[in-house]
Amino acid sequence: MARRYDSHTTTFSPEGRLFQVEYAMEAISHAGAAVGVRTDEGVVLAAEKKILSKLLETSVASEKMHKLDDHVGVAVAGINSDANILINSARLSAQRYLMTYQEPVPMEQLVQTLCDQKQGYTQYGGLRPFGVSFLFGGWDKNCGFQLYQSDPSGNYAGWMAAAIGANATAAQAILKTEYKEGMSLTDARRLATKVLKQTMDSTKLEAEKVEMAEVSWKSDAKQAVAYRVLKETELAELCDQANKEAEAKAAAGKK
Amino acid sequence: VEAKRESRPARGAPQNPLLAMSIMSYNGAAIIAMVGKNCVAIASDLRFGINQQQTTAVDMKKIHKIHDHLYVGLSGLATDQMTLAQKFKFRHNLYKLREGRNMKPETFAHVVSNVLYEKRFGPYYAEPVVAGLDPVTGEPFITGMDLIGAMAPTTNFVVCGNNEESLFGVCESMYKENLEPEELFEVIAQCLLAGVNRDCLSGWGGVVHVISKDKLITRTLKGRMD
């Protein structure tokens, strides 16, 4: 039944569904997980690295985390080549805003512009949608620290904590119970690591399999924010902590 | 016999200055960049005038930071100068996001030249001076350019502005190679102040940046306020 209505992106099915968009979301559910947690001190983005071969030449650029502007970063889940196109577009959009208004682009505007582009591919052109979901983390002077999630349909929403990619529903459920309002940035990092560990396949979390980035105040003076990728040492420490916690919990459970 | 009457604008009507002078002297500027020992210095005056005769602001910096080791100074028409500075920032921001590193001064100079040449037949009325250190090796680099992007890199100094002849003169006499940052500061400051004294369109103090690998010296100069 669905077969007849799923090849053209721009056609609704009789039940009112856009199959291509749904199939795109299906593609994303096979991609590496990404988790975002928002606090009043900053936004944390954590992701599972899927490409782990020893033969890989690591460059400066990361697989899942990308900087869009000084005050915004994004975590990707889905087809990386599709993501690159959209990231480039977002970077240009942010710079054009800065050029015209001489102030950094407000987060929601950036997200909306990108989502409008994604939506275009579900309504005109006969081209397939982008197979990417994003978690945008950043700050602007109107609304402070914010976290947004977007999907191939072009829909977006602001979240306190969100997850995309593999096992996203499970991750989202854990976040729902464990997230607390007024969390500190340190707690947020721990929560993101914990959720990632519980949704990944392996029993022990290793720093090489994880990437984390955050947008937070550069210093205590709270004059400027910066996007930064966490160092190997910080990741190792967080993974260690998460592993120990899980072991302790398992041991307590056995008793 | 009727006397020949000269045509002249009605008494009291303002004369159009653009007929009488170059668009490059509408606002007024003076910029110098110099090479020292593992450092560069760039200095500009602070005057902002309108219609040549009227001084409107005395804190108008013509030097813009691109990154920690790269500065660009722009002389000429102020509006073009401001727009170009914003354009360069735009280009560098994107470069940094894509390449993950800061631009080398030579690369940036080529970007500047390219942006200017794009408007070859309707140019920006601004002449830039680029001064910086290679982010990796720390080697100094300076260059000046005309308004359509012809670069002229040198190893000693570059000047641009309304009174280039004066600026060239003082630099030629006072410049020495391999000056340390503090010495370079003294030389460039004196050259700037001396150079702007004979030009009514630039002056009202100055600002100097001396850029070394690990240190930045920024100082405001007090000169003749006229």
pLDDT tens profile B116-149: 999 999 999 999 999 999 999 999 999 999 999 9
Its pTM surpasses 0.90? no
A154: left (phi over 0), alpha (psi -120 to 50) or beta: left
As a whole number of angstroms, the distance between CA A224 and CA A138 comes to 12
Q: Between chains, do B93 and A95 touch, taking CB under 8 Å as contact?
A: yes
> And the tokens for A20?
């291509």
Q: What is the ipTM of this complex?
A: 0.83
Render each residue's pLDDT in chain B as its tens digit; 226 residues. 455 555 555 555 555 555 556 888 899 899 999 999 999 999 999 999 998 788 899 889 899 999 999 999 999 999 999 999 999 999 999 999 999 899 999 999 999 999 999 999 999 999 999 999 999 999 999 999 999 999 999 999 999 999 899 999 999 999 999 999 999 999 999 999 999 988 888 889 999 999 999 999 999 999 888 7
Burial of A3 (0-12, 13-18, 19+ CB in 10 A): exposed
Which residue stretches of chain B are H helix?
17-20, 78-99, 105-117, 164-174, 181-197
B86 with B127: CB under 8 angstroms? Answer: no
Phi and psi at A126, nearest 5°, equal 70, 15
Q: Which two tokens stand for residue B29?
A: 């500027």
Distance to chain B for A60, nearest Cα, Å: 7
Q: Which residues of B touch A99 (CB under 8 A)?
A: 86-87, 90
CB pair distance less than 8 Å for A91 and B97: yes
Residue A198 burial by Cβ neighbours in a 10 Å radius (0-12, 13-18, 19+): middle
Residue whose C-alpha is closest to residue B197's, from B225, B168, B160: B225
pLDDT (0 to 100) of residue A250? 84
Q: Is A60 within 8 Å of B97 when comparing Cβ atoms?
A: no
Minimal Cα–Cα distance from A161 to chain B, Å? Answer: 26
B39 Cα distance to chain centroid? 18
**Which chain A residues have a beta carbon less than 8 Å from that of B89?**
98
Hey, are the CB atoms on A91 and B101 less than 8 Å from each other?
Answer: no
B79 touches chain A (CB under 8 A): no
Distance CA B206, CA B211 (A): 16
The answer to whether the CB atoms of A61 and B100 lie below 8 A apart is yes
Q: How far away is chain A from the Cα of B97, in angstroms, using its nearest Cα?
A: 7
- Could you tell me the two tokens for B173? 């006499």
CB B35 within 8 A of CB B155: yes
CA distance A190 to A58: 26
**What is the per-residue burial (b if ≥16 Cβ within 10 Å, else e) of A33-49?**
bbbbbbbebbbbbbbbe
B135 touching A (Cβ < 8 Å): no
| A119/A240 Cα distance (integer angstroms) | 41
Of A67, A68, A95, the CB nearest to B90: A95
Q: How far is the C-alpha of A74 from the C-alpha of A164, rounded, in Å?
A: 12
- Whether the per-residue pLDDT at A1 is higher than 80: the answer is no
Residues A100-137 have pLDDT tens digits of 999 999 999 999 999 999 999 888 878 889 999 999 99
B94 touches chain A (CB under 8 A): yes
Which of A60, A61, A91 has its CB closest to that of B94?
A91
